[in-house]
Amino acid sequence: MSVALNLHQTPHTPHPIPHSLSPALKSRLATPLNIGTVEVHSRVLQSPLSGVTDLVFRRLVRRYAPQSMMYTEMVSAAELHHMRKLPKVMEVDPGERPISIQLFDRRPDFLAEAAKKAADQGADTVDINMGCPVNKITKNGGGSSLLRDPDTAARIIETVSAAVSIPVTAKTRIGWSEDDINAVDFARRLEVAGAQMLTLHGRTRSQGYNGTADWSWIAKVKQALAIPVIANGDIFSVDAAIDCLEQTQADGVMCSRGTLGYPFLVGEIDHFLKTGERRLPPTVIERLRCAQEHLRMLADYKGKSGIRQARKHMAWYAKGFDGAAELRDQLCRIESVEEGCGLLDEAITVISPELYRHSLLKPAIV
């Protein structure tokens, strides 16, 4: 199975009138999120995104959401076992908190060894990937294939929890396929095994990133567990976060594709949950300036490979104005920081003055 990366929004309900949280939920969410012994002062989390949530991206997200839990890209416990040096995907900024390092594999002993390294790196929690749908991962028994092997999944949580003193959490999906949804039983097994928090993406493995996330399964899992349950899937806006939290009664939401080219989203939702006020979204110009900064930071951090990696980010930022498609096309081929920043500068000078005003542009419409 190849997994298509669907970047289009799939809104659950249209929002002609922006709405707010019910008072009961509002007061519950005003308290810290307790992940075992770790106290987090935000109910909005930035998900792990392979190829995206490196140290540079997290710095940008954290600027607007300083108290949110963030995740590294998933790290292969097997590769780590054979490496002398820690891979770049495990790097965290000195003092970067709260931070979780996410690991994948199917072997409890490899994962325990990797978790110790994650703890040494300063991770506040270690998260086990039990949701990745990609063939390369599932054919070796990792990621979402663990949904079909709950015994091993539980053993992983037990073994890793025994190996480290930081909390162990898991991120998974609602089931393997539409005919094989086992979210509630699976989640209970992980909780009994010692998981301190569960993030649930409301899609099956077969869905990949298509269709709509089914939040009703998240509500069922939330009812069944005592540990915090974080809702994930289709959180593209403050309104989607409100809907999801009301429907699921989850302990928080995790943003994913909505943050691509839009590192403001976690902060916007966090700000709303804390204050009841909506932060003005950035103007198109501000987004393009952020793209320039992102490009410079990636080049500083990763050199040439950072520039190659920045191409997709630049394309995600460039939308919502005349000529955006052409600009994206050019940004996808940049070879240097100067070239990328020059293209963005040119776009900024010709953008309609209309767009200097705060736009209502939503993230993740590519």
Ligand X SMILES: Cc1cc2nc3c(=O)[nH]c(=O)nc-3n(C[C@H](O)[C@H](O)[C@H](O)COP(=O)(O)O)c2cc1C
Q: Which residues fall in the annotated binding site for FMN?
A: 102, 171, 201, 256-257
Q: Is 258 in the site for ligand X (CB under 6 A)?
A: yes
Q: Which of 36, 175, 233, 340 binds ligand X (CB under 6 A)?
A: 233
**Size of residue set near ligand X by CB under 6 A:** 24
Minimum Å gap between C-beta 10 and ligand X is 8
d(CA 79, CA 130) in angstroms, rounded, equals 17
Q: Is 234 in the site for ligand X (CB under 6 A)?
A: yes
Q: Is 68 in the site for ligand X (CB under 6 A)?
A: no
Q: Is 175 in the site for ligand X (CB under 6 A)?
A: no
d(CA 325, CA 312) in angstroms, rounded, equals 13
Is 132 one of the annotated active-site residues of the chain? yes
* Binding site residue list: 102, 171, 201, 256-257
Burial of 30: CB neighbours in 10 Å, binned 0-12, 13-18, 19+? exposed
- Residue by residue, DSSP assigns 256-313 as -GGGTT-TTHHHHHHHHHHHS-PPPPPPHHHHHHHHHHHHHHHHHHHTHHHHHHHHHH
Q: Which of 49, 69, 156, 295 binds ligand X (CB under 6 A)?
A: 49
Q: Which of 76, 232, 237, 359 binds ligand X (CB under 6 A)?
A: 232
Q: Which of 131, 167, 175, 263 binds ligand X (CB under 6 A)?
A: 131
Q: Is 76 in the site for ligand X (CB under 6 A)?
A: no
Structure tokens at 12: 């659950």
Q: Is 207 in the site for ligand X (CB under 6 A)?
A: no
Decide whether 102 or 204 has the Cβ nearer to ligand X.
102
Residue that is written with structure tokens 């081929």 in the block: 333
Q: Which of 43, 58, 106, 171 binds ligand X (CB under 6 A)?
A: 171
Would you give the DSSP letter of residue 362? Answer: P
Minimum Å gap between C-beta 145 and ligand X is 14
Minimum Å gap between C-beta 48 and ligand X is 4
Decide whether 38 or 132 has the Cβ nearer to ligand X.
132
Please provide residue 43's backbone torsions phi and psi, each rounded to the nearest 5 degrees.
-100, 10
Alpha helices (runs of H) in the chain, residue ranges in sequence order? 23-29, 55-64, 77-82, 108-120, 135-138, 150-163, 183-193, 215-224, 238-248, 265-275, 284-302, 304-317, 324-331, 337-350
Q: Is 47 in the site for ligand X (CB under 6 A)?
A: yes
Residues 6+ apart with CB under 8 A from 314: 291, 294, 295, 328, 331, 332, 334, 340, 344
d(CA 77, CA 168) in angstroms, rounded, equals 15
Q: Is 257 in the site for ligand X (CB under 6 A)?
A: yes
Q: Is 50 in the site for ligand X (CB under 6 A)?
A: yes
The bridge status of strand 75-76 relative to strand 180-181 is unpaired
Q: Which of 1, 5, 83, 325 binds ligand X (CB under 6 A)?
A: 5
The catalytic residue positions are 132
Site for ligand X, rule CB under 6 A? 5, 47-52, 73-74, 102, 129, 131-132, 171, 201, 209, 213, 232-235, 256-258
